[in-house]
Structure 1
Amino acid sequence: MGKAKNLRSRVHSYFQPGAELSPAKKIMARQVHHLTTTEVANETEALLLERTLIKQHQPPFNIDLKDDKSWLYIAIDYNQDYPTVEFVRRPTPSKKVKLFGPYVAASSIRQLFPFFKKTLGLKTCSLPANKPCFQASLGRCLGHNLGPGSKRRYHQQLKYFEQLMKGDVSNVTATLSKEMQQAAKSKDYERAARIRDQLRALRRLQEKQSVVSTRRESFDVYGLAQSGNAAAIVRLPIRRGVLLESDGFLLEHTKGLSNIEILAEFFEQYASQATNLVKKVYLPIKLKTAPVSKLSFRVAERGTKRRLVNLANKSAQNHLEQSVASWQRKEVRAREGLKQLKTIFNLPAVPKRIEGFDISNIQGKEAVGSMVVLTNGLPDSKHYRKFKIQAPAKPNDVRMLAEMLVRRFTKNTDWPKPDLIILDGGAAQLSTVKKALSEFKINLPLTALAKREELIYLPNKKEPLKLPSDSAALLLLESLRDEAHRFGITYYRSRHRKKTVKSAWDELPGVGPVFKKKLKAAYGSIRTLRQANEQELTKIVGQVRATAIKNYLS
């Protein structure tokens, strides 16, 4: 997958006699059979399409930017008069939603965000502007209609927050200092005291930051390290001379690629997702062409910027070594666990594909099933699947589990068959599922793992097997069982939340789509609607409906 303004020139470059190609690109050029092209309107669309296709098809000659689906962003929703500030993943681009990120190390921004929320009075709840939350009543949230001028004041706080997200602490403190003096002059001592507290908090934050340049300039520095089929890139963001927290990125499928190619492909993927970039970028090596036109790529040859590049290179090397060591430990544990499972279940070979199944529900309602997969002992999320369960008249987890397994093997025959199946449960789950599958002549290695005592139930064995708590096989089974539960409960909560919200609004007496939309716009939630007085409701839905709604909600 690749993009180019001149496709003819780009493709021709791979087949020119004497072309300087990396080993990986030479192999690709020999194997290519045909080309497919898609024309888009601009470079941004090309970047987004390239990223989507790489994730969808996972081509072997493109690098894989690890874990980018889980990156965290901060979103400010300017569709609202009093915008909410919240964390999001995989955001949908919108002109009125301001994004900051991605934050690769989510824990760091999560630890810092409460400071900004408290200092600036940011709104993080979903309550409408005319229904102040508890924090607003205490003066800790400014994102509600609290009287004349409140909207202007809150938007000013959001402006400060945006500047802080860009690393510009000094400008915010300078502006706040002026505001504090003006408030004191006009004898608004309460506001002056509040700004004073904000300034103290921001100055404490400044003290923790490292000044690397007295010129107060903003730029990004990148370092690179490569080993085998993996590479690491570290970004050091410098904002107004201050070094902010670094980001580390892992890349796979880099074997045979030059450092120049790795950096170019990285920027093509990363730039389509990042909102926190600045124009000036310093690299350890010179790129042949600029992979992203909105950035200015430079080589740091001496001075402060060269020292920062060396620091970024060293950080990338450490990041890569730690990651590779972690992968190797996981692979060693997985291999040992698989060998033990082969012996325990008397399998003809070490199991390559293991599937785990679990049911999530509350008293049979909104029941869902989850299927997770280990490939060579490691989670393989692209093969995870979710099932909506047709709940029986009486809640019965065992029957629901059997239903899911039958559907998995009778309706999805094109999916790869597992070498081993793990059920969440005990003897009842094992015997019921085995019987249900045998009716369809499906005979695959099957076991159940019970919670608490961690007993392993085997077909045709009266007594369960109890492995040592540090057994590699048991740890592998536990990780699969727990992952199936996590995946299932996440899906269940999503369905339950949608169903609850939908049913609560839809069951209001005399309220159709038009009035439902008006009520949602005015109150935001059923809880807030319940607190509304009948006179307010009458203005929106009329006297008869207002009385009926109040009676229903009471």
Structure 2
Amino acid sequence: MADPATYRPAPGTIPVEPGVYKFRDVHGRVVYVGKAKSLRSRLNSYFADIASLHPRTRQMVTTAASVEWTVVSTEVEALQLEYNWIKEFDPRFNVRYRDDKSYPVLAVTLDEEFPRLFVYRGARRKGVRYFGPYAHAWAIRETLDLLLRVFPARTCSNGVFKRHNQIGRPCLLGYIDKCSAPCVGRVTPGQHRDIVDDFCDFLAGRTDKMVKQLERRMHDASDDLDFELAARLRDDVRALRRAMEKQAVVLGTGTDADVIAFATDELEVAVQIFHVRDGRVRGQRGWVVDKSGDAVDVAGTGGELAALVEQFLTQFYGEEAAVAGQTPDGQSGSAVPREVLVPELPTDVDEVQEWLAALRGAAVRVRVPQRGDKKALAETVRRNAAEALAQHKLKRAGDLTSRSAALQDIQDALELDSAPLRIECVDISHVQGTDVVASLVVFEDGLARKSEYRHFAIREAAGDGRSDDVGSIAEVTRRRFHRLRKDREEVAAELDGEPVPDADAPGDGAADGNGLPLDEAPTSRPGIDPQTGRPRRFAYPPNLYVVDGGAPQVAAAAEVLDDMGITDVAVIGLAKRLEEVWVPGEPDPVILPRNSEALFLLQRVRDEAHRFAITYHRSKRSRRMTASALDSIRGLGDARRTALVTHFGSVAKLREATVEQITEVPGIGVATAKAVLAVLNEQDAR
């Protein structure tokens, strides 16, 4: 734990201009990003009496080892630079309003001849119209099911559409009149598009006109004594009214606004946002995150809530603009509404409005509702936020308590200096010594961090082409900590004022979750990935390094760390047979109670490493077996084998192809195509 006085800038060296500042830890990682109207006033507040700081701020300044800043011309520039740095560095102590799910929307593919309606999650693309987001996918499907009887548009995938077009029969929805069956020509492309346009108009809020048209047609059919048609139209009107009830009008027609509310306690903050489009609530979202101490200690004259509002607006709408294919540099789009209703104005409200207007391409107003329907809706959103925080605290109490207990028990059982907040585990997978791979999984605060998982292809020993588990553990440990040592040397060189060496030496072969090399590309800054520009979090040192195995595996890993001079990482092994915990140099294992939270957490970590290793091993073995299925064909080299598998996607699909289809692959003639099919058919006969 660092003393902030050791890295406090000299008096008078901090500028008084507006700017953005970064706190870094001893490893060079950015742990906090903030902005200020006056850098000197804001940064001096961090180096006041440490006892007077908020606990989270106190933890941040004692974790940090240095501070740096960038001066900008205007506060709008500071706002944008702060957003960009938070997104780039993902600082540990900044509030991040995000969760592990993407919210569903209703998509309409207007760029196709026969537009399709479907539930969608992910990035937006051109030619597709989106309605939402919604809190639950089932809510969209329920509404869509109601509307399909009135707007029988296509909902099937392109594959299903093509298949029914070929067989000349519609799907079930076509038989029950919930699809106009364009696949078999019941409607023309123009007629189907008219149906889709009416559907879009209804969801866009032009509902009264649609209902009146159906009622008029119903009365006309009744006057013509066509009671069957009148009854069907009556049911359509009821379906539309039920769908409208799900999106009740809460504000005046034409209102385009987001209503935001907060509920906080000492450590966490809950946020709720209602998306109101054309007077109707089109979607609702919520988050519960750890509170940033900076919002408490250095919020300025605006107070804590004003600081929270500003943080949320910049992060949320910046992310929304990026998802919608926009950038925070001023390209227009619909991610930002005309009006944003908040419980308290941010301190720099004019700068925030200017930044949001640049995102939207039109004026945006941020204000506090004072009376009427908007204030009533804001109170409803506030109650939802308070309820969400209460439910979160009740739900998480058990999980948080158990995780804290597990980490504390591990610390006590292994006699560690501190709780192992970051645990890494290695597992080896192979079949009789072939296709040897390894996995490395990461748990932080007792939770899996899947974005930091890595896998390794183990170099097989010369001669018999095999590699033992002990040697594999040693190799993975050496390759994993080689990156850590290199980053520490780069940080030390930079702090001493020396040029940072390029990491352009031949890589160690470590691969990330996508199989990309970790150490083969040069880097210009310690811990920064040159391809993405983001921190290379894999270089973080673990508090506890777990290997899947007993005393021999643990001894191999500990020997590697001793040779590399790494003394601040604890190493243990977890043997599967009796779930024994082996410590280097100890003749007997540590036996944890069977019902202890510590053993349960270590088992979860070990099992996750085993699952990840098995997954990678199967994919590698599958690729090898796919290639070997074509190895025996004379005259078919590596390039043409790869071209065949790439063209058809798999050997199974290649086996089903005809000679004519195979000859469509560049470089494959009729004779070679026949030879390929002959070999594959012979393998099937076996």
Q: Tell me the TM-score normalised to structure 1 length.
A: 0.68
Q: Percent identity?
A: 23
Q: 378, 381, 384: which is aligned to 2:452?
A: 384
Q: 1:32 to 1:423 in 2, by over 3 A?
A: closer
Q: 1:296 to 1:495 in 2, by over 3 A?
A: farther
Partner of 1:437: 557
Mapped to 1, the partners of 2:210 and 2:652 lie a distance apart of: 37
Q: Is the partner of 2:319 in helix, strand or coil? A: coil
The answer as to whether partners of 2:473 and 2:556 remain within 8 angstroms in 1 is no
Give the Cα separation in 2 of the matches to 1:495 and 1:162: 46
CA distance in 1, matches of 2:457, 2:541: 21
Partner of 1:340: 409
Shift of 1:342: 2.6
Determine which of 49, 59, 66 is the counterpart of 2:98: 66
**Matched residue, 2:376:** 307
Match of 2:270 in 1: 232
- Give the deviation of 1:70 after TM superposition: 4.0
Deviation of 1:234 (Å): 0.9
Larger radius of gyration: 2
Are the aligned partners of 1:82 and 1:129 in contact in 2 as well (CA < 8 Å)?
A: no
- Secondary structure in structure 2 of the residue aligned to 1:247: strand
Q: Which moved more, 1:172-181 or 1:298-307?
A: 172-181
- How does 1:271-310 map onto structure 2 within 5 Å? 271-274=317-320, 278-287=337-346, 288-289=349-350, 290=353, 291-293=355-357, 294=360, 295-310=364-379
Report 1:18-57 matches (<5 A): 33-35=68-70, 51-57=83-89
Q: Are residues 1:220 and 2:235 paired?
A: no
Letter in 1 for 2:85: L
Deviations 1:359-398 (A, max 9, x none): 57889898754433344x3337388231232375569777
> Superposition pairs for residues 496-535 of structure 1, below 5 Å?
none
Q: Deviations over 1:469-502 (max 9, x none)?
A: 3x22123223433554566677779989999999
Query: What amino acid is the match of 2:86?
Result: I
Whether contact under 8 Å (2:251, 2:374) holds in the other structure is no
The match for 1:248 is: 286
Query: Partners in 2 of 1:137 and 1:493 — Cα distance?
Result: 39
SS of residue matched to 1:127: helix
Q: Tell me, yes or no, if structure 1 residue 448 matches structure 2 residue 565.
A: no
Change (3 A) 1:473 1:243: same
Specify the code of the residue in structure 2 equivalent to 1:285.
E
Q: Tell me how far apart the structure 2 counterparts of residues 306 and 352 of structure 1 sit (CA, whole Å).
A: 44
> By how many angstroms is 1:176 displaced?
8.0
Confirm or deny that 1:404 pairs with 2:476. Answer: yes
Structure 1 equivalent of residue 27 of structure 2: none
Aligned position for 1:187: none
Q: Is the 8 Å Cα contact of residues 558 and 571 (structure 2) preserved in structure 1?
A: no
Partner residue of 2:544? 420
The aligned amino acid for 1:316 is A
Partner of 1:269: 315
Distance in 1 of aligned mates of 2:377 and 2:233: 36
C-alpha spacing 1:391/1:171, structure 2 compared with 1 (3 Å): farther
Contact 1:73 1:99 in 2 (8 A): no
C-alpha contact (below 8 Å) 1:358/1:369 kept by paired residues: yes
Q: Deviations 1:69-119 (Å, cap 9, x if unpaired)?
A: 742454666676567756444x3x64345556666x5xx125634763894
What's 1:472 paired with? 597
Deviations 1:326-360 (A, max 9, x none): 55554432332223223333435443432223457
In structure 2, the CA distance between the partners of 1:445 and 1:273, relative to structure 1 (3 Å rule), is closer
Q: Is the 8 A contact 2:260 2:271 kept in 1?
A: yes
Who is 2:37 aligned against? 14
Cα deviation, residue 235, structure 1: 1.1
Out of 126, 134, 157, the position equivalent to 1:95 is 126
Contact 2:427 2:613 in 1 (8 A): yes
Partners of 1:327 and 1:365 in 2: CA distance: 44
What is the distance in 2 between the residues matched to 1:398 and 1:193? 77
Does the aligned pair in 2 maintain the 1:406–1:436 contact within 8 Å?
A: no
Within 5 A, what are the aligned runs for 1:192-203? 203=241
- Cα shift at 1:203: 4.8
Structure 1 residue aligned with 2:514: none
Give the partner amino acid of 2:409.
Answer: Q
Q: 1:71 and 1:347, CA in 2 relative to 1: closer, same or farther beyond 3 A?
A: same
User: Which digits, 9 at most, give the CA deviation of each residue in 1:14-46, with x for residues without a partner?
Assistant: 2399x9999789999x9975416699xx99xx9
Structure 1 residues 409 and 176, CA gap change in structure 2 (3 angstroms) = farther
SS at match of 1:273: helix
Gaps of 5+ in 1: 1-7, 185-189
SS at match of 2:550: helix
Deviates more, 1:274-283 or 1:117-126: 117-126
Separation (CA, whole Å) in 2 of partners of 1:169 and 1:504: 60
- Equivalent residues of 1:369, 1:404 under 8 A apart: yes
**Matches of 2:197 and 2:446, distance apart in 1:** 45
Of 115, 120, 138, the residue aligned with 2:171 is: 138
Please tell me whether the aligned partners of residues 572 and 582 of structure 2 are also in contact (alpha carbons under 8 angstroms).
yes
SS of 2:159 mapped into structure 1: coil
- Taking structure 2 as the reference length, what is the TM-score of the superposition? 0.57
Q: Which amino acid aligns with 1:446?
A: I
Q: Following the alignment from structure 2 to structure 1, what is the Cα–Cα distance between the partners of residues 477 and 389? A: 40
1:3 aligns to what?
Answer: none
Q: In 1, Cα distance between the equivalents of 2:254 and 2:39? A: 46
Code of the aligned partner of 1:230 = E
The residue that corresponds to 1:4 in the other structure is: none
User: What is the Cα deviation at residue 233 of structure 1?
Assistant: 1.9
Asked if structure 1 preserves the Cα contact closer than 8 Å seen for 2:36 and 2:42, the reply is no
Structure 1 CA distance for aligned equivalents of residues 269 and 658 of structure 2: 61
Distance 1:335 1:95, change over 3 A: same
CA contact (8 A) 2:119 2:141 kept: no
Bigger relative contact order (CA 8 A; separation at least 6): 1
Is 2:145 the counterpart of 1:112?
A: no
Separation in 1 of the partners of 2:659 and 2:229? 36
Three-state SS of the structure 2 residue aligned to 1:285 is coil
In the TM superposition, residue 124 of structure 1 has moved relative to its aligned partner by 6.1
Distance, in Å, in 2 between the alignment partners of 1:516 and 1:496 is 19
Root mean square deviation, CA, Å: 6.0
| Residues 486 and 23 (structure 1), Cα distance of their counterparts in 2 relative to 1, 3 Å cut | farther
Question: Hey, what's the Cα distance between the residues in 1 that align with 2:469 and 2:108?
Answer: 42
